[in-house]
Amino acid sequence: MLTHRVAAVTGAASGIGYAIAEEYLRAGAVVHCIDRDAETAERAARALGAGAHPHGCDVSDPDAVSRTFEAIRAGGALDILVNNAGVSHIGNVESTPLDDFQRLFRVNVQGVYLCTRAAIGDMAARGHGVILNIASVAAWAGLADRFAYSMTKGAVLAMTRSVARDYVQRGVRCNSISPARVHTPFVDDYLSRHYPGREKEMFDRLAATQPIGRMGRPEEIASLARFLAGDEGAFITGADYPIDGGFLTLHG
């Protein structure tokens, strides 16, 4: 249970972030739902119900992150931070423009850095806190045409271990989750844009890359996120948890 805990979840308006926010609320937490678009964050918070508080914030913007976490602290000390916000890109090193490479770095790496930096000082001062980063199997495997995305998720994994090591004696735990493909609105939008009329065929093809034979569900990631944030996971820090339908161990 997360009764009376205060959590902040980035990218909380849809997909994995929304599922984590919902799971934390169900477990008794107060959840600050951070998303780039304020209206989207507000819609998500209304749908989630009592205990959900919306914040419009571009996690790659230092000033916006500072303002957002000041507002969160004004309502009570933060116990849990989930760095979930992220963007993707398709391309190898030659076909990845510098602008796209930098955009992914700003959101997926700089965003984790800024939000962690904004939250962790108070956690360490109180001797209690949890940072949970959403990484990816792309941090471990050589996925085709995911050069920039893999780079950023490898950085997230490295930051997880570094923060865990630096703050283990100050009461802050830091772990990460590495999902494989998860069925979110992002997947549906990607298929509709790139494979019009072939959505079902391509969905089945993507699902089959997991040895278990399907994509993950956001609520499955959220259940693991709740465990790692709660007292049940109190002996765990500096760890990454693949939740991938056997992709890393059994693929190929």
Active site residue ranges: 149
Residue type at 74?
Answer: A
Q: Does residue 23 contact residue 219 with C-beta atoms inside 8 Å?
A: yes
Q: In whole angstroms, what is the distance from residue 42 CA to residue 4 CA?
A: 22
The two tokens of residue 177 are: 């989750």
- Alpha-carbon separation of residue 205 from 117, 178, 182 (angstroms): 39, 21, 13
Q: In whole angstroms, what is the distance from residue 80 CA to residue 123 CA?
A: 9
Residue type at 62?
Answer: P
Residues in a beta bridge with 137 = none
Q: In whole angstroms, what is the distance from residue 102 CA to residue 129 CA?
A: 30
Q: Does residue 151 contact residue 192 with C-beta atoms inside 8 Å?
A: no
Q: Which of 223, 129, 123 is nearest to 182 (CA)?
A: 223
Residue bearing tokens 């998720």: 153
Q: In whole angstroms, what is the distance from residue 41 CA to residue 203 CA?
A: 28
Cβ burial of 14 (10 Å; 0-12, 13-18, 19+) is middle
Residues in a beta bridge with 80 = 7, 130
What DSSP character marks residue 71?
Answer: H
